[in-house]
Structure 1
Amino acid sequence: MTSPAQPDPVQPDSARSSAPDAPAHGPADAGPDADRRPDGRDQAGVVHQILSSSWLLSLLALLVALVVGGVLIAMADARVQDASGYFFARPQDMLVAVWDAVRNAYVAMFNGAVYDPQAPSFQRSVRPLTETLTVATPLVLAGLGVALAFRASLFNIGAQGQIIMGATFAAWIGFTWQLPPGVHLVLAVLAGLIGGAIWGGIPGFLRARTGAHEVIVTIMLNYIAFYLLSYLLTTAAFQRPGSSNPVSSHLEPTAVYPLLLGPGFRLHAGFLVALAATVFVWWLLSRSTVGFRFRAVGANPHAARTAGMNVEWSYMLVMIIAGGLAGLAGTAQVMGTERYLTAGIAASIGFDAITVALLGRSRPWGVLLAGLLFGALRAGGVTMQARTGTPIDIVLVVQSVIVLLIAAPPLVRTIFRLPAPGKGRAPRPVAPAPAKEVQA
């Protein structure tokens, strides 16, 4: 009688030793795991992950906003309005008019934001791109401040006031002190950073110590900063000598950002500061212990406190850094483009920064790209209005639609019939390889 440990006399040893490793079926019968990737995820899971990604939602939100803007452009066009009067007699006339109106408007916007082939010289052709970078610089810096607070689950609505205070501090150093070149510039930048950090640290301190909601506090601080600056511009310390207008003296040449491409362009070194700030925020959130604490507090403050993290200190520190970034946006305005202080130095940058942070998904590189996009919309909107007569308010409508869609992701998913995150087919576990038969 043959024992179980003895080899089968009918099957050769070579065939027996390789049998456990041989596939049970051929390639045609590979079964449901044939489309499995090496990392254990099937193709359907990968497709679902792409369709439910936040970046795709941002791109689709931008696409919908441009379509809505195109509809408004067509409605405001005189030729389209005339052709709509006899639409049922000759519908092709209205369709052609709509196409021409939308195409001409967006082409003009591109020419005013990126490249203008109709310009008489190469310098004038590339100047739109430099204007986009110039306009985007404060948007990126302020957007980084808003996004950083978002990552810690704080709503920094006070970027407007922080920009004003940063510009005020930097301008006072710029037109009051007499310092050597280089030193004067650095001190003015630091003053702007400190001014914004102080104004951002106030709501952080109140949130940490008293639990005051940062949304209410930052909104109130926006008004305080605006009216404080308006008052300062009427005092002898700030108002330009010999002028009755509420404007400051011009900053000293040693306290302004140098032009990167010469006097023919407005692009200044503040753009390099914005790039450096983007790298810093990326490093802070991805590579530093402090950034990990910010993200942990933003994800679950109770769990972070249980893990031994000082949640209150994190709130205060993140708002200080966020305010400092917005203060740098103020230096880009007063030391780069304006070079003197006015009550409207911040324009609407602080509120647009919220949109930039939302579109960038509160990620540093996303904020950089979103800031460049909004800079292009602003710079190109002027050319669009000048060449085609399209109201520049269309740009504001596009920005508003982007905010609406970013704030309501289910709406975008419904329009494009995208799957909701977390509801796709879960990856199936890979079956373990059968154990080899142990020979006696």
Structure 2
Amino acid sequence: MFSNRTVNILIPIISVLLGLLSGAIIMLAFGYNPVAGYAALWNGAFGDLYFFGETLRQVTPYILSGLAVAFALRTGLLNIGVEGQVFVGWLASVWVGVAFELPSIIHLPLAIIAAALAGAFWGFIPGILKAKLGVHEVIVTIMMNYIALYVTNEIVRNVITDGEDKTERIAETASLASPWLAEMTFYSRLHYGLLIALFVAFIMWFLLNKTTTGFELRSVGFNQNASQYAGMNVSKNIILAMVISGAFAGLAGAMEGLGTFGYLSVKSGFTNIGFDGIAVALLGANTALGVVLAAFLFGTLKIGALNMPTASGVPTELVEIVIALIIFFVASSYMIRWIILRFKKEGK
């Protein structure tokens, strides 16, 4: 009745439905109308071209941060440092965008590459510590999130500016913004970064599934001892996996620096782009296509939630509860799998 592939597809779908259903029950319990709440969410995400543009804009960094987490997980690593890698990528892209005066055909690619390299470097540090010294990547990447936050703030205040809390706007030649996209979506902040994010998703799929390097990375993640016995360089592949994961996260930062905002301001806390990327990767089952679809769902929920308090009186925090419940059900997928398999047996 159900193949394993079908079961793997059904689990995130059922998790989303259970999360939405649980959210409706919570709304009812606190005296809110769930139909009005979810209608407001839908209208807030897709009610007109402006909201739709903002939804796609929010999806863009989620795709890249989700890919960063998913890539590491596919290679047996848990990169909790995506948030920090987003920060350094954002910083590098804005720095290049502010510091240089170049033609657009050079300036924009240079800023994007700088972001990827910065994120890759931030991923290289826990990668080499894991490969050479056996230091667990979770501990290192968590700590490096805070290092990235405070180092970035210091550089903004005392290197890029003279004591200011915000950099200048990047040059137009380094911007991902598109006048025609903005005009088409009633001047939303949608930019060309969405195309970059989708292209990177294709790169991840191709690299992991169609190349020898990808096969080695997945093999090392699955079983390091067997991979080493087969002649693969385990240390090199661990470092490479973290570098690539960091590069994806750095690009997520570039989407904010070169596209959404066009500058970098001092932050009092995390952006949560990297942390939300963990949820996107889990819901997307660590596959490129799954991450794109999960990012679209999360972008819809995040942007749609902004309309809920004014249109239906439902607080935006309820969407955070729904997201948490979706992740809970994904994490408890063994229960959903057990139920599906029971139906499968009864169907026979």
TM-score bucket of the superposed structures, by smaller chain: over 0.9
Q: Does 1:304 align with 2:304?
A: no
Code of the aligned partner of 1:238: I
Code of the aligned partner of 1:138: P
Q: Deviations over 1:322-352 (max 9, x none)?
A: 1000000000011111111023396111000
Q: CA deviation at 1:265?
A: 2.6
Q: CA deviation at 1:298?
A: 1.6
Provide structure 2 residue ranges, at least 5 long, that are not aligned to the other structure: none
Distance (Å, rounded) in 2 between the aligned partners of 1:335 and 1:347: 16
Q: Deviations over 1:173-203 (max 9, x none)?
A: 1111111122111110010010000001111
Code of the aligned partner of 1:258: A
Number of aligned residue pairs: 342
Q: How does 1:294-373 map to 2 (within 5 A)?
A: 294-344=217-267, 347-373=271-297
Structure 2 contact 23–321 (Cα < 8 Å) conserved: yes
Structure 2 contact 7–340 (Cα < 8 Å) conserved: no
Q: CA deviation at 1:255?
A: 1.0
Distance (Å, rounded) in 1 between the aligned partners of 2:277 and 2:313: 28
Residue number among 129, 133, 140 corresponding to 2:63 in the alignment = 140
Residue 145 of structure 2: aligned partner? 222
Structure 1 contact 112–379 (Cα < 8 Å) conserved: yes
Code of the aligned partner of 2:328: L
Distance (Å, rounded) in 2 between the aligned partners of 1:214 and 1:56: 31
Code of the aligned partner of 2:166: V
Structure 1 contact 69–394 (Cα < 8 Å) conserved: yes
Q: Deviations over 1:153-190 (max 9, x none)?
A: 10000000000000111111111111112211111001
Residue number among 391, 404, 418 corresponding to 2:328 in the alignment = 404
Residue 76 of structure 1: aligned partner? 30
Distance (Å, rounded) in 1 between the aligned partners of 2:342 and 2:95: 51
Q: Deviations over 1:2-21 (max 9, x none)?
A: xxxxxxxxxxxxxxxxxxxx
Q: Percent identity?
A: 37
Code of the aligned partner of 2:326: I
Code of the aligned partner of 1:270: G
Code of the aligned partner of 2:160: F
Task: Give the SS at the match of 1:330.
Answer: helix
Q: How does 1:6-17 map to 2 (within 5 A)?
A: none
Structure 1 contact 163–346 (Cα < 8 Å) conserved: no
Q: Deviations over 1:74-97 (max 9, x none)?
A: 2333xx6xxxxxxxxxxxxxxxxx
Residue 107 of structure 1: aligned partner? 39
TM-score by length of 2: 0.93
Q: Does 1:395 align with 2:314?
A: no
Identify if the C-alpha distance between structure 1 residues 338 and 51 changes in structure 2 by more than 3 Å, giving closer, same or farther: closer
Code of the aligned partner of 2:39: V
Residue 248 of structure 1: aligned partner? 167
Residue number among 140, 154, 159 corresponding to 2:77 in the alignment = 154
Distance (Å, rounded) in 1 between the aligned partners of 2:242 and 2:345: 37
Larger radius of gyration: 1
Residue number among 64, 74, 78 corresponding to 2:18 in the alignment = 64
Residue 19 of structure 1: aligned partner? none
Q: CA deviation at 1:53?
A: 1.3
Task: Give the SS at the match of 2:340.
Answer: coil
* Higher relative helix content: 2
Residue 262 of structure 1: aligned partner? 182
TM-score by length of 1: 0.74
Identify if the C-alpha distance between structure 1 residues 256 and 68 changes in structure 2 by more than 3 Å, giving closer, same or farther: same
Code of the aligned partner of 1:112: G
Residue 7 of structure 1: aligned partner? none
Distance (Å, rounded) in 1 between the aligned partners of 2:49 and 2:13: 26
Runs of 4+ in 1 over 4 A off after TM superposition: none
Code of the aligned partner of 1:304: S
Distance (Å, rounded) in 2 between the aligned partners of 1:301 and 1:50: 26
What value does the CA root-mean-square deviation take over the aligned residues? 2.0
Q: CA deviation at 1:48?
A: 3.6
Larger relative contact order (CA 8 Å, sep ≥ 6):
2
Code of the aligned partner of 2:277: A
Task: Give the SS at the match of 1:248.
Answer: coil
Q: CA deviation at 1:403?
A: 1.5
Q: Deviations over 1:212-238 (max 9, x none)?
A: 100001001001001111222220x22
